[in-house]
Amino acid sequence: MKRWYSVRNASNGVVDLSIHDEIGLWGVTAKDLITEMNDHQGVREINVSIHSPGGSAFDGLAIYNALKNHPAKVYTRVEGVAASAASIVLMAGDVITMPEDAFVMIHNPWVGIMGDADELRDTADMLDKIRDSLVSIYHKKTGLDEQTLVELLNAESWLNGKDAKDYGFVDVLTESVNVAALSPEFAKHFASIPKSLTQQNTVSDQVGDISTLKDFESYLRDAGGFSRKEATALTSRAKDLMQSDSAEDQGQIISALSSLSTTLAGK
């Protein structure tokens, strides 16, 4: 099962945590991450790298509380996007860093549900309680008043580095990093996503950045909008064909990649 996070125990009492996918989905929960983190209670520093469109608010809150209660110094950094539940995790940092052209997005919690009137009312009450928790977390970091935070949540606010720094969501700005666009699969969840996160570079630029099979799989998902399962299958097939001694097989994959690039360029 593919995980949306990775934990690496670095030397000298430092742990690196990466969250570079949707949070708490695909059968892997915050409990799994927290269990791993509990194996590193003796470390003095935790570095958290975030590039995520969000996911489960409950898992985001659980990770936030686990990091806040950990005895280590916590450094969180936005690599590209920290949206929705990922912005909650971001707030756990004792020091929060982001590039100027990265984004933090905060919005009201939402859920898809079917049920009778009583169930819907109960769900609405639950969402209000989650929003109150978010307001409290953001207030602790930023010092912004409740009304301002509620307005930002209602507006589905995308904050670039300067905005996030001005509002107090981050402590340190770094130079721009040319943030990659979100895949169509992720972008469709948001109402007002910035154009810079939906506009891809040219296909030739993107292909030039591919140096590993993992890069190729990510390219298929981000540029082509393929599902994780489809991208993994295509990558596996490409690997098999390129390892073949058959010139015909290698020609097939080269032709397929050329056709794929042409198709994506027309999107």
107 tagged catalytic: yes
Range of weakest confidence among 85-99, 117-131, 171-185, 239-253: 239-253
Last residue of a domain, one of 186, 212, 235: 186
In contact, 156 and 165? CB cutoff 8 Å:
no
Lowest mean pLDDT among 102-106, 118-122, 167-171, 244-248: 244-248
Q: Is the dihedral of CA 136, 138, 139, 144 positive or negative?
A: negative
Rounded mean pLDDT, 113-138: 79
Separation between Cα atoms, residue 187 and residue 237, nearest integer Å: 27
pLDDT in tens, 9-67: 877 899 999 999 899 877 788 999 999 988 888 899 999 999 998 988 999 999 999 99
Across the range 79-85, mean pLDDT stands at 93
Beta strands in the chain (DSSP E): 5-9, 14-19, 45-52, 73-83, 95-99, 103-106, 157-160, 172-174
146 with 204, same domain: the answer is no
- Shared domain for 130 and 236, answered yes or no, is no
Q: Provide the pLDDT confidence category of residue 267 given band limits of 50, 70 and 90.
A: very low
Residues 205 and 181 in one domain: no
Of 186, 212, 240, which residue sits at a domain end? Answer: 186
Percent of the chain with pLDDT over 90: 45
The DSSP secondary-structure symbol of 199 reads P
20 vs 127, residue with greater confidence: 20
Co-location of 29 and 126 in the same domain: yes
User: Range of 90's domain?
Assistant: 5-186
Verify that 163 and 212 share a domain, yes or no. Answer: no
Q: Are residues 126 and 226 in the same domain?
A: no
**Summary mean pLDDT of the chain:** 81
Is there a domain that residue 191 lies in? no
Residue 111 covered by a domain: yes
Report the domain count for the chain.
Answer: 2
Question: Which entry of 18, 49, 84, 261 is annotated as an active-site residue?
Answer: 84
How far is the C-alpha of 182 from the C-alpha of 221, rounded, in Å?
9
Indicate whether 193 belongs to any domain.
Answer: no
pLDDT at 68: 96
The mean per-residue pLDDT over the stretch 110-138 comes to 78
How far apart (Å, rounded) are the C-alpha atoms in residues 230 and 158? 30
**Interacting residues of 53 by C-beta distance below 8 A, sequence separation 6+:** 22, 81, 83, 84, 86, 182, 186, 189, 190
Q: What is the pLDDT of residue 25?
A: 75
Q: Among 27-31, 117-121, 132-136, 160-164, whose mean pLDDT is lowest?
A: 117-121
195 occurs within a structural domain: no
Catalytic site includes residue 84: yes
* Residue ending a domain, choose from 160, 186, 212: 186
Same structural domain, 97 and 218: no
Give the up-direction half-sphere exposure of residue 201: CA atoms within 13 A in the CB hemisphere: 10
Q: What is the pLDDT of residue 257?
A: 61
- Residues 95, 170, single domain; the answer is yes
Do both 157 and 215 map to the same domain? no
Let me know whether 29 and 151 are in one domain: yes
CATH number of 31's domain: 3.90.226.10
Does the global pTM surpass 0.75? no
Strand partners, 172: 97
Residue 182 shares a structural domain with residue 208: no
pLDDT one-digit tens code per residue, 161-183? 999 999 999 999 998 766 655 66
Contact 70, 103 (CB under 8 A): no
Q: Single out the catalytic residue among 49, 107, 157, 261.
A: 107
Bridge partners (DSSP) listed for residue 96: 76
